[in-house]
Structure 1
């Protein structure tokens, strides 16, 4: 049970997170298709090249709409730029594994389990300036259920006996 003073999640935020999971699935599938035709490096270049063009267009639109103010923003820490490196590695790894017997479901199941484990470590030790959070039995149970679910998908999913 949550404490009475704990903030309740915004339904729009829950919907946005759920939608991002759907987009992630579509992205991994499309990267896997590109990887099956041109390899993992091609898949990564294609995804990031498309993202770069989209970002340039998006920034151009925002730049034209931005009011002129003397406001300056704080610079991002140097480690924040490593997101591109991990993104490129993620695209290459997923576009490779989705074309193996793991398939799309197995790749995503293990990927999500890895995300949860890393995010719990980030909460526990306060990585990247996050506030430290003491992990409990509920967190361990969630990880265990995700790992078991991943194994069920991989070992007993559709086409597993093929």
Structure 2
């Protein structure tokens, strides 16, 4: 899955480059490409950098007025909230970034949202740690042999 994630990240870079000069229309096309990519690989353990790249893209979008700024912040918040409940290698960094984001927007609102998402994040982090044990047993460069077959079988059983 890491190979697919890498290919899709290259695709996103291409999409961003093509749409860079197209203004709002190009930004919307890039956002759709990120959404498509995360629908495909967003649950993969190696998808953390994709989530982080999408969030950085959303934060970089210009806002002309208060309404657009509010919409952008809401969109960034929703993506963070999806990312922090996804068990990836970067879950702890995403959580720290999310806390910083919420505190930068509104300390009062941050307390409620962080306390609401803390148990969900803790659950995703626990799943990540368990999943990582199975993933670490797999040698991604090795041809199928009995030990690798067993490691894959354990990972697939865990994922079910």
> TM-score, normalising length from structure 1?
0.33
Of structures 1 and 2, the one scoring higher in RCO (CA 8 A, sep 6+) is 1
> TM-score, normalising length from structure 2?
0.33
